[in-house]
Amino acid sequence: MTEYTRGVPVAELKPRIQAFQALLHKRGVDAAIIVQKSDFFYLTGTNQQGWLYVPREGQPLLMIFKEFVRAKAESALERIVDLVSPKKIPGVLETLGYPKPKILGMELDVLPTNLFFQYRSIFDTARIVDISIDIRMLRAVKSPYEIAMIRRAAALSDKLAARVPELLEPGKTEITLAGELEAYARSLGHQGLVKMRLWGSELFYGHLLSGPSGGVPSYLASPTGGSGTSPATGQGAGHRRLGRNEPILVDYVFALDGYLSDHARIFSIGKLPDDMLKAHNAMLEVQDVAKCRGIPGIQAGELYEIMVAAAADRGYAANFMGVGDRRIRFTGHGIGLELDEFPFIAKGQTLILEPNMVIAMEPKVVLPGRGVVGIENSLVVTPSGLESLSSIQEDVVVV
Amino acid sequence: MTEYTRGVPVAELKPRIQAFQALLHKRGVDAAIIVQKSDFFYLTGTNQQGWLYVPREGQPLLMIFKEFVRAKAESALERIVDLVSPKKIPGVLETLGYPKPKILGMELDVLPTNLFFQYRSIFDTARIVDISIDIRMLRAVKSPYEIAMIRRAAALSDKLAARVPELLEPGKTEITLAGELEAYARSLGHQGLVKMRLWGSELFYGHLLSGPSGGVPSYLASPTGGSGTSPATGQGAGHRRLGRNEPILVDYVFALDGYLSDHARIFSIGKLPDDMLKAHNAMLEVQDVAKCRGIPGIQAGELYEIMVAAAADRGYAANFMGVGDRRIRFTGHGIGLELDEFPFIAKGQTLILEPNMVIAMEPKVVLPGRGVVGIENSLVVTPSGLESLSSIQEDVVVV
């Protein structure tokens, strides 16, 4: 027999379900059907395929299409049934005595349109409303268990960064170096997949960019882009060969047992020009400002403006977080099971920081034609500010 | 200045647009807006972010949110404009003299619901219809250029498989071996990301599974699953250590400059038990049957039944393509820019095979508790049957 393990401990799962039910209550939603993979894992502890029905009150019902035996072993939920099609959901709910929902929540930020219309005809007496904001808000504040999981991932981010200097060689291509680091990450348990919620977003480990590649912009909502191996990917490591005296960005996500740590350090073969070192150090100072000011109660948009002002004060108004019209308007993003969680430390965001949110903060200076410098760490919101989950040195590492 | 390259040659792009316009005409659709990333790349040659407007007749209009300069260099389309928001699309269309669409096609199989309602309010005088089937049908038949691209990827799949024996060692974990192979793939130009269209599907390179791992089922629509590194991924290589005399499946996708090759070979450290070798050879015979019978004009569902019957004839009715109720009901899938393209060689599929479709055919026998054997190649439909794009040996490789 195959041995399966629990994805999320029962003591962790129960309060998540209760908190979600409280949000449904507050919103006046009778029940929710959860199908998006990260929300589903968060509330069930399994990544198998099915439908989680969460009524405002009482037991949630996990219905599994594939693979039932596995899901039953992986999930600590009590009520789990085998189900062949979403069309059967109303019948199962009735049999098990669940009242018919009048207002049904679904994740309309990601649910494909054709599926929405299918669910609307299955639940033809209900009104379907978007509960994606609610569940994203719930997921934004991490439990001690989750912080410990991210801390484990961050420790491996540090370990990965510590390996970089041994692998640097002038003339090696970005993609070859990327593969070597990725192999090491895998040997440390990296799950491979880095999940993003936003439709059309995608990332393969992160950005490993040398010299001018660090200044190549892309479609991604990120201060860096990179050439990628072709226009079909259009981001990330490409075929460029590492040179001397240029910044080499290793901005990689460590994905361990579901949880992510986002982490960037700058390396160089031979010394960097003084103005780049200066810009890098300015970004460390901007990070320090964010650490002090990122306390519970501050609005995300306010923290963003503080960081923008701190960069401008140091002379980097024109190159902070990219260059030009479509430069990104954020300095950090929540992180957990996905790379693009709440809160976004972004222009105009009114969301208020709470203790135990985890934020990947990434102040960077982009110098077109020359490269990128700066830092990224995953940090937890504490009463006294942001605490980094990483401990490896933050200066430019010269080999 | 950053040097960008064309993603798709102009001689390739023009007939694609024309063929798509002919489909719109046939369907009575006035125009389409393409946003899904693979469709977008297919019709523009760039992976940057924006909206492609294709009227039934006349010039398509590419509107770019980010990154405009890059998209302009990468795409061979003539009309490319910079645009900040989808709300501005109707205004731009009017300015440029495009007639107002009454029936507007979009990719409703993947477009998130909230975006659908946004587009519906932007195009408030149009009816939005699903054109996903049309574009998927178009993409199913490959051009000589595309077949050459997949052939290049398949050659590297062969090269990757040739490397496996050198890396096999008893006691090495699946995930460590995976990392070593992935590093080699990257050094050969693998782009990393393997794209799938179906919402909620995901794959990291493919499945590297040893012994019993090959029989661990998962949520994925695939004959194999695997433990993965944790329930959060629930598929692919895990922490199991390679043993002797057990099948080691390397079912990996090579993703090169956008195009994919899907490819599986079986390895073992020491000899495999005779019944497994016999099952493996039976799958090679099933592949031969498929190669002969996979000619233009046959229905995909008919080819599926032929393969199922060929497996049953050889004694594998109960273990072909998985075990139990939720075993998958397909033997192959179209492949190109994405892993799950048309046609699906699946139960009940009425789609008719045409020359130059490319199909990843994967007859496999799953033995719970013991592992998986079988084969996978990417094959092109020719007048005389399916031609494999791979040439490396298909027998079990014993080291």
The length of chain A in residues reads: 399
A124-A126-A128 Cα angle (round to 5):
105
Residue B298 has pLDDT above 80, yes or no: yes
pLDDT digits (tens, 9 = 90+) for A35-62: 999 999 999 999 999 999 999 999 999 9
Nearest neighbour of A200 by CB, restricted to B4, B37, B46: B37
pLDDT (average), residues A294-306: 98
- Which sign, positive or negative, has the C-alpha torsion B302, B304, B310, B314? negative
* Residue range(s) occupied by CATH 3.40.350.10 in chain A: 10-139
| Pairing between β-strand A397-398 and β-strand A259-268 as defined by DSSP bridges | parallel
Q: According to the model, what pLDDT value does residue A111 have? A: 98
Cross-chain Cβ contact B35/A202 below 8 Å:
no
Q: Is residue B67 classed as helix, strand or coil in its secondary structure? A: coil
Q: According to the model, what pLDDT value does residue A20 have? A: 98
Bridge partners of B86, per DSSP, are none
* Chain A nearest CA to B326, separation (Å): 6
Residue A1 has pLDDT above 80, yes or no: no
What Rg do the C-alpha atoms of chain A give, in angstroms? 22
Band of pLDDT at residue B325, cut at 50, 70 and 90: confident
C-alpha span between A160 and A166 (Å, rounded): 11
Cross-chain Cβ contact B49/A200 below 8 Å:
yes
Which of A191, A222, A254, A370 should one mutate to test binding to chain B, selecting the residue with the greatest count of B CBs within 10 A? A191
Q: Which amino acid is at B43?
A: L
Q: Report residue A82 as tokens.
A: 């085998």
C-alpha span between B202 and A196 (Å, rounded): 11
What ipTM goes with this model?
Answer: 0.97
Q: According to the model, what pLDDT value does residue B326 have? A: 78
Cross-chain Cβ contact B233/A193 below 8 Å:
yes
For residue B193, which residues of chain A lie inside 8 Å, CB to CB? 202, 204, 233
Cross-chain Cβ contact B233/A191 below 8 Å:
yes
C-alpha span between A49 and A373 (Å, rounded): 41
Chain A's closest residue to B186, CA to CA, is: A179
Band of pLDDT at residue B1, cut at 50, 70 and 90: low
Bridge partners of B388, per DSSP, are B379
Mean of all residue pLDDT scores within chain B: 97
Q: Which of A238, A224, A233, A307 is nearest to A266 (CA)?
A: A224
Q: Which of B209, B223, B349, B362 is nearest to A67 (CA)?
A: B223
Residue A251 has pLDDT above 80, yes or no: yes
Cross-chain Cβ contact B239/A189 below 8 Å:
yes
Q: Which fold has domain B10-139?
A: Creatine Amidinohydrolase; Chain A, domain 1 (3.40.350)
Chain A's closest residue to B239, CA to CA, is: A189
* Chain A nearest CA to B286, separation (Å): 26
pLDDT digits (tens, 9 = 90+) for B163-215: 999 999 999 999 999 999 999 999 999 999 999 999 999 999 999 999 999 99
C-alpha span between B171 and B364 (Å, rounded): 25
Q: Which amino acid is at A225?
A: G
* Chain B nearest CA to A42, separation (Å): 9
Band of pLDDT at residue A3, cut at 50, 70 and 90: confident
Top-level CATH class of B141-398?
alpha beta
C-alpha span between B157 and B166 (Å, rounded): 16
Q: Is residue A30 classed as helix, strand or coil in its secondary structure? A: coil
C-alpha span between B220 and B218 (Å, rounded): 5
Band of pLDDT at residue B324, cut at 50, 70 and 90: confident
Phi-psi region of A15 (alpha: psi -120 to 50; beta: other; left: phi over 0): alpha
Cross-chain Cβ contact B108/A112 below 8 Å:
yes
User: B305-311: long-range contacts at Cβ-Cβ below 8 A with a sequence spacing of 24 or more?
Assistant: B305/B347, B307/B331, B307/B345, B307/B363, B310/B285, B310/B286, B311/B282, B311/B283, B311/B286, B311/B363, B311/B365
* Chain B nearest CA to A295, separation (Å): 31
* Residue range(s) occupied by CATH 3.90.230.10 in chain A: 141-398
For residue B183, which residues of chain A lie inside 8 Å, CB to CB? 179-180, 182-183
pLDDT digits (tens, 9 = 90+) for B127-174: 999 999 999 999 999 999 999 999 999 999 999 999 999 999 999 999
Band of pLDDT at residue A325, cut at 50, 70 and 90: confident
For residue B337, which residues of chain A lie inside 8 Å, CB to CB? 232
Q: According to the model, what pLDDT value does residue A240 have? A: 98
C-alpha span between B123 and A36 (Å, rounded): 28
Nearest neighbour of B229 by CB, restricted to A41, A69, A191: A191
For residue B368, which residues of chain A lie inside 8 Å, CB to CB? 2
Cross-chain Cβ contact A232/B178 below 8 Å:
no
Q: Which amino acid is at A367?
A: L
Q: Which of A16, A90, A15, A13 is nearest to A53 (CA)?
A: A90
